[in-house]
Amino acid sequence: MQRILSIVLLVLLSACASNYPARQALPLTAGQLTPAANQGIAIVALALQGIDQDSTQASVQLQGPQGELYLHTQIRGDMIRAPGEMANQPGKLFALQLPAGEYTFTRATGSWMIPSAMIGGREYFTLPLNTRFRVAAGEVVYLGSINLNINYRTAVSYSAAWERDQFDLLQRHGVTDRSNIQLRPLAAPAGQ
C-alpha cells in the first residue's frame, strides 16, 4: 500500500513540476526586468536542506488571480548560484511573471528517501505556509527565500538572501540593472 501511495505522490509531484516553467526567458530591457502590461514580477527562492542529498524534493503552492501554480525543486540537480566564496544553495530561484493582485503561498509538500529503509521507502511532508504578498502592474518585487529544512521534523523559515539571489539572476538571466527591484522579503505569518 505504501509503495502505491509513493508512486501516486511522485506522479502528482511530476505533474506539479511542469505547472510552471522555472527557467523561462525573462522579459528584459537593457538588462532590467520589464513586466508585460497588467503584470508584475515576483522573485522568490525555494531553498532546501535535507537528510538525503540525492532524493529530497519539495514544492510550494501559490494561489492567486491566475489560479494555482506549483514551484518545484530538488536537492540533486537544482542550485542557486552564489558569488565569490559564498556556497551555492540547493534549490531554485523563481522569477514569476504574474497578473497584478494578491497572492498566498498556501503550503509546501515534498519527500525524501528514508536512509535506512528498504527499497522504495520515502517520508512525505506537508507544511502550511499561508504567507501573503501583493504585486502591482509594472512592479518587480523580491520576496526573499522560503527555506525548507526537510527531515523528520520538517520546518520552514524565511530570509532575505539578496546578494546570492541577484547573482543568480545575473548569471542565469542576464539581469544587470536591478534598480527597479523592490525588496519586500516574506515573513512568517503570526502564530507560525
CA-to-CA distance for 16 and 20, rounded, in angstroms? 8
pLDDT for res 152? 82
Please give the chain's pLDDT, 192 residues, in tens. Answer: 444 434 334 444 444 443 544 456 788 889 999 999 999 999 999 999 987 878 899 999 999 998 999 999 999 889 999 999 999 999 999 999 999 999 999 999 999 888 665 666 888 999 999 999 999 999 999 999 999 998 888 999 999 999 999 999 999 999 999 999 999 999 988 766
pLDDT for res 6? 41
pLDDT for res 89? 95
pLDDT for res 117? 58
Contact at 8 Å (CB) between 28 and 175? Answer: yes
CB count, 10 Å around CB of 148? Answer: 26
163: left (phi over 0), alpha (psi -120 to 50) or beta: alpha
pLDDT for res 8? 39
pLDDT for res 12? 44
Contact at 8 Å (CB) between 131 and 171? Answer: no
What is the Rg, in whole angstroms, of the alpha carbon atoms belonging to the chain? 17
Name every residue whose Cβ is closer than 8 Å to that of residue 171 and which is 6 or more positions away in sequence: 81
Helix residue spans in the chain (DSSP H): 2-17, 162-173
Q: pTM, whole model, 2 decimals? A: 0.85
